[in-house]
Amino acid sequence: MRQCLLFPVLIGTLLLLSGCAAYRNYDLEMQQTNAQLMRGDFQGALDLLEWHNPWDDKDLLYYFEKGSILSFANALPQSQTAWRSADRMVFQREEAVPSAPMKLLNQFSYEMGTMLVNDKLSRYDGYDYEKVMLTTQMALNQLAVGDFDGARADIKKTHEREALIARQRERQYEELEEQAKTQGITVQYKDLQGYPVLTLDAPAVIELKNGYQSAFSHYLAGFTYEALGERGLAAPGYRQAIELRPNTPFLEQALRNLDKPPANNDESDVLIVVQSGLAPARSSVTVPIPVRLNENLVITAPISFPILVPDTVTPVFDHIMVDGRKRPLTAINSVTDMAFRTLRDDMPAIISRAMFRANMAAISQAHENERNPAKASLVVTEHDPFEEADTRTWRTLPDRTLVARLRLKKGNHQFSAPNVPSAAPVTLRIDRDHQLVNLRLLNDFGNVIGTSGLPDK
């Protein structure tokens, strides 16, 4: 009776999901959208985003991308509205706990759907680093318009989300370890022939404590609390940033400066935040997986795995010009590194699902060999159009974050970006005791956006 009930629910779920996700080439969609973004055509990028999302029930990625494009366009209130929608969706999913039988049944059908087909069929809930960077970018938007209290609220969400992710990750690792023992899975990502293993083992990736905590997020928290006069809360933020990115003098100096007198009345404590490039794209690579069906029979199945493709278009730089003077910048966050670390940590689960599909494909090939011995093969011959890795990811999320902190006289100051000939210098009015200047760079296009001071007319 139970099997009769689960089967139609599973099939119905697969049919429903295949219509909205399986046939969607998200990577191609965002290549087109980002091409407009790279040219500074924000309206063109928004038009493409709407074109690719015609349905009324927008998904999480739509709000991720829309918020970023609007932020690049300096439409910060609209950007915040889109990101608030994304944040509500993330929060609702964090709060949802399957309890009723039908909820458990739907959860089971989703899991079975991804096991039988691939990860593209699952609902997109966002990667851990995307959820944390969402509230970080929201706080940055608030600081850019001088709303330190609003930024404080988003920073509190960031801390709560990090704690929740840590608990979920701990449970996930325990469950995966037990599942691997039960199923006898011994394959690791280093065993995958043809997979770019070195990208997951790069020093910058391994050095990260995890894939979701950002030194920038915690430094921004420290700066916000300091500006609000809450130095007791600022210190833990700076300490956490130092723990996540040790041996960084810029971060250590912020902690020491808490004991120093504040800026003079005619000066401003200015945090310059430069965000450049875009988050890496996800692509799919096929890897041969040998499946031992018995002592004498091994059939190899071609199975897809995700790989990351970093943005290499945006130039690398290490300083900014302020009033014609070179000011060094310190890199304190790389979304690319966070994405690689997340993928590295996710590989055991990805391999577990892939091994299930490989076994199913190998068993199907063995049955075909029995039916047609003349064309028997030790490699799966039937092409599965669904066998492709999930390429969905937040593509317009800025990649590198670099910072500088200066004490500037209140008044007008000129800011310009290096290696960006098309971005003219911008004069901004610095008139607050604590102020943030945010600079976004893409390709050879750049603009100063979202400053709490206004451009000089």
pLDDT, residue 446, reads 57
Considering only CA atoms, which of 251, 265, 270 is closest in space to residue 323?
Answer: 270
pLDDT surpasses 50 at 7:
no
Contacts 24+ apart (CB under 8 A), 266-269: 266/409, 266/410, 267/407, 267/408, 267/409, 267/410, 268/407, 268/408, 268/409, 268/410, 268/430, 268/431, 268/432, 268/433, 268/434, 268/435, 269/227, 269/405, 269/407, 269/433, 269/434, 269/435
Instruction: Identify the DSSP state of 258.
Output: T
pLDDT, residue 317, reads 83
pLDDT, residue 112, reads 45
What is the mean pLDDT of the segment spanning 42-63?
Answer: 95
Considering only CA atoms, which of 199, 439, 415, 419 is closest in space to residue 314?
Answer: 419
19 or 32, which is more confident?
32
pLDDT, residue 422, reads 63
Considering only CA atoms, which of 186, 169, 191 is closest in space to residue 352?
Answer: 186
Instruction: Identify the DSSP state of 422.
Output: T
pLDDT, residue 77, reads 94
Tokens 């040219």, residue located: 39
pLDDT, residue 426, reads 83
Distances (CA, A) of 45 to 34, 36, 41, 182, 371: 7, 5, 6, 48, 52
Instruction: Identify the DSSP state of 455.
Output: B
- Give me the chain's average pLDDT, please: 85
Instruction: Identify the DSSP state of 262.
Output: P
On the 0-12 / 13-18 / 19+ scale of CB atoms within 10 A, 418 is middle
List the domain boundaries for the chain: 2-449
Distance of CA 265 to the CA centre of its chain: 40
Give the Cα-Cα-Cα angle 345, 175, 358 (nearest 5 degrees): 70
For 280-328, the pLDDT digits (tens) are: 999 999 999 999 999 889 999 999 999 999 998 888 888 999 999 999 9
Question: How long, in residues, is the chain?
Answer: 457
> How many whole angstroms separate alpha carbon 135 and alpha carbon 86?
10
For 144-202, the pLDDT digits (tens) are: 989 999 999 999 999 999 999 998 888 877 776 676 667 666 778 888 888 999 999 99
CATH topology of domain 2-449: 1.25.40
pLDDT, residue 154, reads 97
pLDDT surpasses 80 at 111:
no
Considering only CA atoms, which of 393, 354, 358, 305 is closest in space to residue 34?
Answer: 393
> How many whole angstroms separate alpha carbon 282 and alpha carbon 289?
21
Confidence of residue 456 (pLDDT cuts 50, 70, 90): very low
pLDDT, residue 445, reads 60
For 360-380, the pLDDT digits (tens) are: 999 999 999 999 999 999 999
Spatial neighbors of 393 by CB under 8 A, at least 6 apart, are 26, 127, 130, 279, 280, 281, 282, 339
Query: Torsion angle, CA of 383/386/389/395, rounded to 10 degrees?
Result: 130
> How many whole angstroms separate alpha carbon 64 and alpha carbon 86?
6
* SS3 at position 63: helix
pLDDT, residue 118, reads 62
Considering only CA atoms, which of 356, 353, 360, 355 is closest in space to residue 390?
Answer: 353
For 316-362, the pLDDT digits (tens) are: 888 999 999 999 999 999 999 999 999 999 998 898 889 889 999 99
**DSSP H/E element including 271:** strand 267-278
